[in-house]
Structure 1
Amino acid sequence: MPDAKKAKPVEIEVGGRTVRVSSPDRVVFPESAAGGELTKLDVVRYFADVAEGINGALLHRPTTLERWPKGWSADAVMATRADSHGDAFYQKRIPKGAPEWVETARIAFPSGRTADEVCPTEPAVAAWAAQIGTLTFHPWPVRRGPDDDATERVDQLRIDLDPQPGTDFDDAARVAPHLRELLGELGMTGYPKTSGGRGLHVFVPLAPEWTFTQARRATIAVGRELERRLPDQVTTKWWKEERGEKVFVDYNQMARDRTIASAWSIRANARATVSMPLSWDEVDQVHPDDFDVRTAPARLKDVGDLFAPLRADRDPALDCDLRPALDLADRDEAEGLGDLPYPPEYPKQPGEPKRVQPSRDKDRPKDAPAE
């Protein structure tokens, strides 16, 4: 194979834009990926081929870029807050040198700091981002709008069914119909997708009028009700030592600055899987490995974008009301069930319980129920 450093740049057309791909032969996924190695040009072309889907998932949303500029490998390391050295990293501010047609939206972090994040408005943005090493897009559950407060208003409820050690995607798939039933009782319509890994995500379109605190509180209430109905299968326990072999409803994915991989994103794994929108009838019939960079474009042509009802420019008639879920939260709180812990990097929140691992909490009675 030609040396990637010597390969000539390639230009491809995406949505009326020309995207220049440098080092097109650079290997992004090695031979272990499904169907053999995938190059940077393969990845950019993938996002061009699924432009309808990925653009719909990202449209008008501030988006964090998960960048793997050297490509994925089994021993690659993701940079963290504690250690910025790594082979991959999350880009929360628009990269220097971005084309003038790559727009931004300003968002605020829990610390109060702000950032101008990439805010896709056209299909070529995803292809350009892939050219600089982006595999996974992490859009916020808000949309850019005409006023400064638009990115404070949540317009998607995102429920993450996260299988814990000892469980897998099939366990999440068994929980999913019960979640669908519960959402229906609350007057909500959920749209499922594979995470691209072991989990399952269910998104609900909302009118853009809810705060992050309200959306997280509603997610906790939905998770707790699901836990009551399926106590042997579902948990909302934040501390891993208390979860057991169950599916964790990760309510903190609705906290500010916590995002979920978008539909049609590529996941950084050996198979180069894709986070794939599903119909409810498919949930227990598929496996995440069924959908990868090579198979996803044909599926989009065959069934269309099943996540189109979640687009920022959707028909407002599709929006669901969050109030019934908040009423459920009110009932829980009236029975003594308060807030649950936030992620460790967050400032302490009003009403939040102690952020101490139960096994290390010296003040906690040994027979006390878990938070």
Structure 2
Amino acid sequence: MPRTATARPPVKRAQPSQPEPRITHGERVVDASTGITKMDMVRYYALVAPLMLEHLKSRPVAVVRAPDGIEGQLFFQKHEDSDRMAGVLQLDPALDEGHDPLMEIASAQGLRSYAQMNVIEYHTWNALKDRIERPDRMTFDLDPGDGVSWQEVQEGTLLVRVLLQELGLPAFLKTSGGKGLHVVVPLKRLRDWDTVRAFSKAIVEHLARTIPERFVAKSGPRNRVGKIFVDYLRNGRGATTVCAWSARARPGMGVSVPVAWDELDGLTSSAHWTVQTIAPRLAAGNTPWDGYAQSAATLTAAMKTLDFA
């Protein structure tokens, strides 16, 4: 009998890896108050990359660049307008028509590429690129006005959590690395941007009506003197919130870090961890947010409870 030829699977050829971005002027001081340099920031993002990439994956990202250090002019960039960089993906232009492509950090190389471009901060959308018109989270940014103590911020954050619990919504906490705290509600991707933003506004207005001595629903420094503005505007299409593990372009270089609710009392400020002090926290990593994805909720019952039409 003639022998039957056996089909062989095609040989997979190794793809050439992109070279590591070259870092220039690594000695340049980024933050005069600490002496942190550009090379320090390269090393910082290399250190936190395994944790941070979990929060960056599949999300459009905006970045804050500080070419002359954080005391100089800062540039907020939402679209990729330069040549492709290692580890940075240009997303489908149809996701944001009329603009240059949105960006995604796809690997640790991307963080290094942007460090070379003097990027300090990373901010992400509340949606993933594969279903960008359906947000997968709702974010509340507690922004204290002048005269608000840190203890009042902590108490206000607990009050936000209590309301969300009464609405049957899960809530996860992180420092912002700046002045306030972020409370994040994971969502099933069922509602559009306008609905999520409108409902988050209704929640904040309810807080301001119920506890007017503590909360305000209007933005602007004059409106929040002695009070906390719970920023719901982060929930609009194209709005962004600082990513977990991102440094902040502020003196001291605070870091946004996921925390468990039982850690809230022990925080000394929203910049409890900084670029220089983050190392001991890395062992905890993202574990304070264990169960985040599985907790994704629908808004139907919460809307009925709040009598949201």
Q: Which amino acid aligns with 2:123?
A: H
Q: Shift of residue 272 of structure 1?
A: 0.8
Q: Shift of residue 306 of structure 1?
A: 4.1
CA shift digits 1:283-330 (9 cap, x unpaired) = 1221223210011232012x12146559xxx74x3311122333355x
Q: Shift of residue 102 of structure 1?
A: 1.9
Instruction: Answer whether contact 2:21 2:109 (CA < 8 A) is retained.
Output: yes
Give the match for residue 3 of structure 2: none
Aligned length: 291
TM-score, with structure 1 as normaliser:
0.72
SS in 1 for 2:64: strand
Instruction: Answer whether contact 1:161 1:172 (CA < 8 A) is retained.
Output: yes
CA distance in 1, matches of 2:198, 2:271: 33
SS in 2 for 1:326: helix
Once superposed, which parts of structure 1, at least 4 consecutive aligned residues long, lie more than 3 Å away?
Answer: 106-109, 112-115, 238-244, 306-310
CA distance in 2, matches of 1:94, 1:115: 6
CA distance in 2, matches of 1:101, 1:271: 28
Instruction: Answer whether contact 2:140 2:183 (CA < 8 A) is retained.
Output: yes
Give the match for residue 160 of structure 2: 179
Give the match for residue 97 of structure 1: 83
Instruction: Answer whether contact 2:244 2:258 (CA < 8 A) is retained.
Output: yes
SS in 2 for 1:325: helix
Q: Shift of residue 115 of structure 1?
A: 3.6
Please list every run of 5 or more consecutive structure 2 residues that lacks an aligned counterpart in the other structure: 1-16
Q: Which amino acid aligns with 2:304?
A: D
CA shift digits 1:243-284 (9 cap, x unpaired) = 441111112121222211111111111101111221111212
Q: Shift of residue 17 of structure 1?
A: 6.8
TM-score, with structure 2 as normaliser:
0.86
1:118 aligns with 2:95: no
Give the match for residue 26 of structure 2: 24
Among residues 47, 50, 61, which one is paired with 2:48 in the alignment? 50
Q: Which amino acid aligns with 1:187?
A: G
SS in 1 for 2:187: strand
Give the match for residue 304 of structure 2: 327
Q: Which amino acid aligns with 1:98?
A: R
Q: Shift of residue 101 of structure 1?
A: 4.1
Q: Shift of residue 108 of structure 1?
A: 5.6
Instruction: Answer whether contact 1:107 1:114 (CA < 8 A) is retained.
Output: no
Please list every run of 5 or more consecutive structure 1 residues that lacks an aligned counterpart in the other structure: 1-14, 77-86, 334-371
CA distance in 2, matches of 1:170, 1:98: 45
Q: Which amino acid aligns with 1:279?
A: A
CA distance in 2, matches of 1:304, 1:195: 16
CA root-mean-square deviation = 2.4
After alignment, is 96-105 or 197-206 more displaced?
Answer: 96-105
Give the match for residue 64 of structure 1: 62
- Structure 2 vs 1, CA of residues 307 and 58 (structure 1 numbering), >3 Å: closer, same or farther? farther
Instruction: Answer whether contact 1:162 1:248 (CA < 8 A) is retained.
Output: yes
Instruction: Answer whether contact 1:138 1:262 (CA < 8 A) is retained.
Output: yes
Q: Shift of residue 192 of structure 1?
A: 1.0
CA distance in 2, matches of 1:280, 1:16: 41
Identity in percent: 30
Instruction: Answer whether contact 1:221 1:326 (CA < 8 A) is retained.
Output: no
1:40 aligns with 2:38: yes
SS in 2 for 1:64: strand
